[in-house]
Structure 1
Amino acid sequence: MADRPTIGVLALQGDVREHVHALAKCDADARPVRRPEELDRVDALVVPGGESTTISKLAETFGLLEPIRKRITGGMPVYGSCAGMIMLATEVLDGRPDQQSFDGIEMTVRRNAFGRQVDSFEAPVRISGVPGPAFHAVFIRAPWVERVSDGVEVLGQVTEGPAAGRIVAVRQGNLLATSFHPELTGDLRVHQYFVDLVRST
């Protein structure tokens, strides 16, 4: 893998620009991905926050659902934040009946588990394997992880408040997911963690 990997950001809906900016600061060549031929030209992919049912529909419309699944099966690193976590899950609770995902991480995720937009909140979250203080994590209509398989590593949980103990960061092989939005805080450690993961593959 090159020292400056090419990392795509799925640009169908959501906070694409913020992820591109954060990845570029971590010395990655970041670019939007909207079509299968653009997916073919990247080493890894970020699936941003947004609205998971909309992302699911647009991924089908733009012919990206199966190509992304195939790339994941082939070992492509992928990081999903918030809606991206939902898109990476093998099971989604409280989603639409026709909602599809990329079937990457063997976990059950509950959509909008932390509540509606007005219930958005911020909380400290420590991420295993990432040095430094706890992240100032921003949760916006966020999911949480209810169950994981034996092959999934739990990296972070809410440590205080009514949601204490809820799983909000996981990794399975080359796949990483958080239910919060590190791209909105200026803290680059999650993005740097992912870029380093991509370089190591």
Structure 2
Amino acid sequence: MSVTIGVLALQGAFAEHISALTRFSSPSTSASLKTCIHPIPVKTCSDLLRCEALIIPGGESTTMALLARLNGLLEPLRDFVKSGKPVWGTCAGAILLANGGGQELLGGVDISVERNGWGSQLESFETELHMIGIRNEDVPFRGVFIRAPLILSLTSTGGPDSEPITILSRIPLSHLPNSRIQLWTAPENGPCRRLSEDDPRLIVALRQGRKLVTTFHPELTLDDRILEYFVKNCVLDDPEEALDI
């Protein structure tokens, strides 16, 4: 069995995702795939038509949306997302998959986001995260946050046509940069309030149906466990059949 996974290659960290997919599917890795993964860069509509799943990388979301429109890809990408095929958005990709965010979006995931919610490039940081469902989930995953978006709210109505959202990872309060704690607990307009562990702004990874969102950059590490999770649980939708570990 072979599955073609495309990586939107208009701008951003698409090369890192393709490298990770190639590394992950190589026989020299510790995971022996029952399914052959075939990664391809997606720059045209014909590229997209070859894909059974798609990764939208980190980068600059407004630039990606503009380039997608200029290349005639914006509507085909929206159709791809609406079709129910597996899609993973990281950082800028998470912004584009959100149903609310104040810019030209693809939609498909019931969240509202804020661009650069973790601060500027200078406020980028790394921290250890615990993510449920990945292999060896008791071992922390190193989250790389670079001008990362914030998930402001979950907008799912919970109706019969709305797939449930599974929260996979939150950033611990103790891991927040001090500047973010000060900003969130003392807003310019309104009373100060203590940031709680269940605040949606602490969510950094979630899944809705066959769509995966991470606000950080897993592809900038050599840890392929989140990629493995995407392949097993979203692309193949059959964790038992996906891998021999």
TM over 0.5: yes
How do residues 39-188 of structure 1 correspond to structure 2 at under 5 angstroms?
39-92=48-101, 95=102, 99-132=103-136, 133-148=139-154, 149=156, 150=158, 151-159=164-172, 160-162=174-176, 165=197, 166-188=202-224
Q: Secondary structure at the match of 1:26?
A: helix
Checking the alignment, whether the CA contact within 8 Å between 1:23 and 1:195 is kept in structure 2 is: no
Q: Give the match for residue 191 of structure 2.
A: none
The one-character-per-residue Cα deviations of 1:111-162 (angstroms, maximum 9, x if unpaired) are: 1000000000001111111132111100000012111124222111101233
Q: Equivalent residue for 2:235? A: 198
Question: 1:65 & 1:153 partners in 2: Cα distance?
Answer: 27
Structure 2: gaps of 5 or more residues: 26-36, 159-163, 181-195, 239-245
CA-to-aligned-CA distance 1:62-81 (integer Å, 9 cap, x gap):
11111111112111100010
Q: Tell me the distance in 2 between the aligned counterparts of 1:5 and 1:170.
A: 23
Structure 1 contact 23–192 (Cα < 8 Å) conserved: no
CA distance in 1, matches of 2:69, 2:52: 21
Instruction: Report the TM-score when normalising by structure 2.
Output: 0.76
Whole-angstrom distance in 1 between the partners of 2:9 and 2:61: 13
Q: What does residue 190 of structure 2 align with? A: none
Within 2, Cα distance between the matches of 1:183 and 1:128?
18
Identity across the alignment (%): 44
Q: CA RMSD in A?
A: 1.5
Does residue 18 in structure 1 map to residue 16 in structure 2?
Answer: yes
What's the TM-score once normalised by structure 1's chain length? 0.92
- Displacement over 2 Å in runs of 4+: 160-165
What's the CA shift string for 1:162-196, capped at 9, x where partnerless?
36841110110010010110111100011111112
In structure 1, C-alpha distance between the alignment counterparts of 2:140 and 2:53, rounded to whole Å: 26
Structure 1 unaligned blocks of 5 or more: none
Deviates more, 1:172-181 or 1:57-66: 57-66
1:90–1:104: 8 Å Cα contact kept in structure 2? yes
Write the distance in 1 (CA, Å) between the matches of 2:237 and 2:168.
19
**Rounded Cα–Cα distance in structure 2 between residues aligned with 1:58 and 1:152:** 30
SS at 1:49's partner residue? coil
Give the deviation of 1:25 after TM superposition.
Answer: 2.1
- Offset of residue 200 of structure 1: 2.4
**1:53 positional shift:** 0.7
Aligned partners of 1:5 and 1:195 also within 8 Å: no
